[in-house]
Amino acid sequence: MEIRIALLPGDGIGPEIITEAVKVLDRVAARFGHRIIYTRALVGAAAIDATGDPYPEETHRICQASDAVLFGAIGDPKYDNDPTSKVRPEQGLLRMRKSLGLFANLRPVSLFEALTDRSPLRPEVVRGTDFICVRELTGGIYFGRPQGRDEGGRRAFDTCTYTVEEIDRVLQVAFRLAMTRRRRLTVVDKANVLETSRLWRERAQLMAAQYPEVTVEYMFVDNAAMQIIRQPTHFDVIVTENMFGDILTDEASVISGSLGMLSSASVGAEVALFEPIHGSYPQAAGRNIANPMATILSAAMLLEHLGLEAEGRAVREAVNTALAAGVVTEDLVREGGRSYSTSEVGDYVAAHVWAPLFGRSTSEQPNVRTVRV
């Protein structure tokens, strides 16, 4: 099979973690007999520096011509510290989502058994956690107009808007996903206060009639924030609007013990995009210390999205092997253990994509660099 992947490393640690994901994908291609064609493109601060545009038209064309997009991270302190700048890296991410029609973000939240002791929550609370958040991506307060300041800059305002069409299409994704899982859907809103939330709840109640097999519950966002920490195993599929989803999924990420473990997919009308949920972590850029696991797991989601289930499973098994062996970056090191570099973790995971095929140690396989544990 020939697979065309647009690579958008972006800023900060983005280039480093994308390099490790590509390393793993190359091993997958070799094991399963695929051909992967990568095309690199600029986005974020790197694109602003080169072209003045955080999402250049050339990048958009490359994404459209690909089977999937693998994206690193966006953000640079030089723009964060300049509030007067009219062009910001994050604008590239928002425009990319909108331009590619990526209206639903899927973020799985699960706990790897080897990381149970790394979660800040008690093992008996988090063990067995396995849910997925479906976040609306292209509407809500992040895109609403009008937006700005008046009264000489002394008053600021943002507008949250949603249409029936925007709500229905993401609800459809969530209901269909629930049908493939445990058939339980939690709709998160703030319908006791917000008119947009009341519209969300109305549309969810109407659509629920089309999916009688799915048990639907409705939960205010403040309660959801508490229950995700108090009882994460309660959830199967969560669906919510843009800003609520942004906040809740970052909160849920602590269950796994590290932001560096959570992958995501953004899907919609055109090509799908896969990315880790963490940011650009500029303090670690170029130091070879960032955790590449979330990006590698995003690559596994990419493979599964293309119907390559065995390939995605091989990547997940290799990640599990690395975690069990303690081959992890500094954010996941247990007491008495040692930390491995970004590239060493990538080498180890890539090597173990081969191991199930050959049934022997990776040191016996040609052209595979091993990491000694």
Write down the pLDDT at residue 355. 60
d(CA 135, CA 146): 23
What is the model's pLDDT at position 57?
97
Q: Which of 76, 189, 236, 246 is catalytic?
A: 246
Does some domain include residue 220? no
Let me know if residue 86 belongs to a domain: yes
Q: Does residue 78 carry a catalytic annotation?
A: no
Provide the token pair at 259: 């932001």
Residue 256 lies in a domain: no
Q: Establish whether 67 is a catalytic residue.
A: no
Q: Please name which of 37, 39, 50 lies closest in space to residue 7, comparing C-alpha atoms.
A: 39
| Residues of the chain below pLDDT 70 | 83-84, 355-373
Report yes or no: 364 and 358 within 8 Å, Cβ to Cβ.
yes
Residue 186 located in a structural domain: no
* Structural domain contains residue 233: no
- Three-state SS letters, the chain: CEEEEEEEEECCCHHHHHHHHHHHHHHHHHHHCCEEEEEECCCCHHHHHHHCCCCCHHHHHHHHCCCEEEEEECCCHHHHCCCCCCCCHHHHHHHHHHHCCEEEEEEEEECCHHHHHHCCCCHHHHCCCEEEEEEECCCHHHCCCCCEEEHHHCEEECCCCCCHHHHHHHHHHHHHHHHCCCCEEEEEECCCCCHHHHHHHHHHHHHHCCCCCCEEEEEEHHHHHHHHHHCHHHCCEEEECHHHHHHHHHHHHHHHCCHHHCEEEEEECCCEEEEECCCCCHHHCCCCCCCCHHHHHHHHHHHHHCCCHHHHHHHHHHHHHHHHHCCCCHHHCCCCCCCCCHHHHHHHHHHHHHHHHHCCCHHHCCCCCCCCC
Q: Up-side HSE of residue 325: CA atoms within 13 Å toward CB?
A: 16
pLDDT (0 to 100) of residue 85: 73
Catalytic residue among 67, 80, 250, 331: 250
**Residue 80 is among the residues annotated as catalytic for this protein:** no
Do the domain assignments include residue 144? no
- Which of these is catalytic: 78, 82, 150, 222? 222
- The C-alpha atoms of residue 56 and residue 276 are separated, in whole angstroms, by 22
Distance CA 43, CA 53 (A): 8
Is 190 among the residues known to form the active site?
A: yes
Phi/psi for 180 (5° steps) reads: -90, -5
Residue 76 falls within a domain, yes or no?
yes
- The CATH number linked to 68 is 3.40.718.10
120-154 pLDDT, tens digit each = 899 999 999 999 999 999 999 998 899 899 998 89
For residue 189, the model assigns a pLDDT of 98
CA distances from 296 to 43, 115, 241, 278 (A): 20, 17, 27, 13
Q: How many domains does the chain have?
A: 1
pLDDT (0 to 100) of residue 83: 66
**Set 79, 142, 162, 281: catalytic member:** 142
Query: Could you say which of 190, 211, 340, 348 is catalytic?
Result: 190
Please give the pLDDT value at position 334.
84
Residue 133, beta-bridge partner list: 107, 238
Q: Which domain holds residue 328?
A: 1-103+268-373
Q: Other CB atoms closer than 10 Å to residue 99's CB: what's the count?
A: 16
pLDDT at position 122:
92
Give the integer Cα–Cα distance in Å for 266 and 62.
17
Strand partners, 263: 276
Whether 222 is catalytic is: yes
Q: Is residue 160 part of a domain?
A: no
